[in-house]
Structure 1
Amino acid sequence: MILLLLVLAPVGLLLYYDTTLHRVDALSDYSGRIGNTPGTTWLVVGTDSRADLSQEDKDKLATGDSDGSRTDTIMLAHIPTSGKPMLISIPRDMYVPIPGQGSHKINSAFNSGGAKLLVQTVEQFSGVHIDHYAEIGFGGFDRLVDSVGGVTMCLDHGIRDPKAGLRLKAGCQELDGAQALGLVRTRAFPNADLERVVNQRKFFSALMSKATSPSTLLNPFRVFPFINGATDSFTVDEGDHVWHLAWLAFRLRDPVTTTVPADGDEYTGDGESLIPGPSTEQFFQYVSKGQTVPDELLSGSGGSSLGSS
């Protein structure tokens, strides 16, 4: 009887937490959809949604009071059939065809059509089939970081950005939730968004590493707050489950990280934009075929670095 309880209790908890995930129709079929491609690919989206944030929270996190939900964090988490996982940033200024709307910066797909249009845009742009979808807003992000006791990052230079409520010194330091949110939001760099996506990738990987470390998994005062925070904060596709998120976290502890290459920038009707070209096409050909991407197509060095957990 005791053995049965020991088996059923974790299963019951798993099923309970799965019911608390927020879900959205992100991955339903559409005419001409890209078929299955090798490996497993997630679309991971960070939004500026302030839903459920009190005014005190908004002031603490320096988020402002904008309504609605926009995205400036778009990443592909690609788990190949062999080799290391990849965490791939798609800059929000990448100028791509958006179904039914002509060519625009890629983040406008989410802003105007939500998760479903963004998935369709990314699939048709990349030729890579999206298997899973995960989205997190401002409020959930800081709670996740605090639940694991913060995450250590190393900065080559100090960062000050009043708009993001950020003031960090150079060197290695443990960031709490508010500081971490400021780091992944700030564009206070000479190359602005391109540097920001590097920091976003590195911090996301660092958070996954800390969440799956023994210091978290063996500490009930950390693991349960983290699980509660994750299920409360993430929005996933209707077919995704909490065990999919757990599998993703374990696989992204030490990924290859890169930014989708572009062939320069150009002024468009949407302003200064990154223009895809032959290098972009070559990059996604390797990913869509399940092949290792050559080093010459990888980019995104710099930014913050991961400290010890």
Structure 2
Amino acid sequence: MASPDEHAGRRRDRPSTGEPPRSGSSGRKKKRRWPRRIGIALAVVLLLVTGLVIYTDTSLQRTPALADYPGRVADTPGTNWLLVGSDSRQGLDPARREELSAGDAGGRRTDTMMLVHIPAGGGQPSLISLPRDSWVPIPGHGSNKLNAAFSFGGPRLLARTVETVTGVHLDHYAEIGLGGFAGLVDAVSGVEMCLDEPLRDPKAGLNLSAGCQQLDGAQALGFVRTRAFAEGDLQRIENQRKFLGALVDKASSPATLLNPFRLFPLITAAGETFLVDSSDHVWNLAWLAMAMGDISGKQGVTTTVPIARFITVDGQSAIKWNTDQALRMFEAIAQDEPIPPEVLPD
């Protein structure tokens, strides 16, 4: 017969049926809720991102810039973009035009044209500046400055002219106006530029000191537009490439991508800013941005079409390409090959 002490020991060894087990069960339920909550949060984020992409894509302005025409250059390997900066003042009220020193000229002209090539199998992307004063044949209009093609026939004639003189098939087109450019800069809270000497140009509303400084949208617009240099358009092209690289670096930095108060305004500003070809979408612009990031990060080539000399035609100054070197440069692009180093300007 068991003693009273043994009976008491057995009672102490029996599992309790009080509150602790119920409390443990509740803890397990709470743990099981976390995966569900995380899944819901991820689904909400995915919906927001998808909605933002759709909104941005539908906000893009489109034009049939790359419509087919008789004798068009056949498709070439890789991906080729024509990037255009126009002086369009569309959407700018008088106060904003004054702030940007944009004047009140009507219509659209272009001061900036760049050809971007992205290789098909990876490799270094290339950005080639096409000076606006380049003297070239324009289909149906004889020979004239390259930017005259834009004045004569808008994006479609400009794209056709570029394809004709380079032999490179264009796959995508993107154009940005004055207000849109300034808006992109302001969306990333400005871009830092370092100047070796002061830069002043009343026509561009520009008054910058030497040294490093943060440029807002209006100042940045003046910086990329001014021609107040001895070399005029060529120095402006250099400044445009320099600033574009800094803008891409700022836009693709963690400080922008991880900050929704910068990222969302940047994405929405891009959607409302760009005029693209009818077949282009926001994801095409995203691939372009990645390539531009490589270029600005010194993993690509930035250059200007080889130039032979300055010429004067009917009293206007123009630029004559070095035909042999330019042909070799564009043949390499058309064949999706690296640009020969010997044709790159010093």
TM-score of Structure 1 vs Structure 2, range by shorter chain: over 0.9
1:257 counterpart = 2:302? yes
Report the TM-score, using the length of structure 1 for normalisation: 0.93
Segments of 5+ residues of structure 2 without an aligned counterpart are 1-38, 296-300
Once the two structures are superposed, what CA deviation does each residue of 1:229-251 show, in whole Å capped at 9, x if it has no partner?
Answer: 11111100110011111111121
Q: Within 5 Å, which residues of 2 pair with 1:1-309?
A: 2=40, 3-81=42-120, 82-255=122-295, 256-269=301-314, 271-276=316-321, 277-299=323-345
CA offset at residue 39 of structure 1?
1.2
Once the two structures are superposed, what CA deviation does each residue of 1:128-162 show, in whole Å capped at 9, x if it has no partner?
Answer: 11110000111111110011011111212211100
Aligned-partner Cα distance in 1 for 2:171–2:242:
23
CA offset at residue 291 of structure 1?
1.4
CA offset at residue 274 of structure 1?
1.1
Aligned-partner Cα distance in 1 for 2:163–2:176:
20
Choose 80-89 or 6-15, whichever is displaced more: 6-15
- Aligned CA distance change for structure 1 residues 251 and 270 (closer, same or farther; 3 Å): farther
CA offset at residue 201 of structure 1?
1.4
Aligned-partner Cα distance in 2 for 1:166–1:62:
9
SS in 2 for 1:253: helix
Once the two structures are superposed, what CA deviation does each residue of 1:14-56 show, in whole Å capped at 9, x if it has no partner?
Answer: 1121101111110111111111112111100001111111111
CA offset at residue 296 of structure 1?
2.8
CA offset at residue 75 of structure 1?
0.6
Comparing both chains, which one has the higher relative contact order based on Cα–Cα distances under 8 Å and sequence gaps of 6 or more? 1
Once the two structures are superposed, what CA deviation does each residue of 1:84-129 show, in whole Å capped at 9, x if it has no partner?
Answer: 2111110001111111111111000001100000000000110111
Aligned-partner Cα distance in 1 for 2:251–2:43:
28
Query: Which letter does structure 2 place at the counterpart of 1:253?
Result: G
How much identity, in percent, do the aligned residues show? 55
Aligned-partner Cα distance in 1 for 2:325–2:131:
15
Runs of 4+ in 1 over 6 A off after TM superposition: none
Query: Which letter does structure 2 place at the counterpart of 1:261?
Result: P
- Aligned CA distance change for structure 1 residues 117 and 188 (closer, same or farther; 3 Å): same
Query: Which letter does structure 1 place at the counterpart of 2:214?
Result: E
Aligned-partner Cα distance in 2 for 1:203–1:87:
14
SS in 2 for 1:252: helix
Aligned-partner Cα distance in 2 for 1:221–1:159:
32
Report the TM-score, using the length of structure 2 for normalisation: 0.84
Aligned-partner Cα distance in 2 for 1:295–1:173:
34
- Aligned CA distance change for structure 1 residues 251 and 184 (closer, same or farther; 3 Å): same
Contact 1:45–1:134 (CA under 8 A) maintained in structure 2: yes
Alignment RMSD: 1.4
* Structure-1 residue corresponding to 2:33: none
Aligned-partner Cα distance in 2 for 1:90–1:126:
10
CA offset at residue 169 of structure 1?
1.4
CA offset at residue 262 of structure 1?
1.9
User: Size of the alignment, in residue pairs?
Assistant: 300
Contact 1:21–1:236 (CA under 8 A) maintained in structure 2: yes
Aligned-partner Cα distance in 2 for 1:270–1:242:
43
Segments of 5+ residues of structure 1 without an aligned counterpart are 302-309
* Structure-1 residue corresponding to 2:18: none
Query: Which letter does structure 1 place at the counterpart of 2:319?
Result: L
SS in 1 for 2:89: coil
CA offset at residue 263 of structure 1?
1.5
Choose 281-290 or 70-79, whichever is displaced more: 281-290
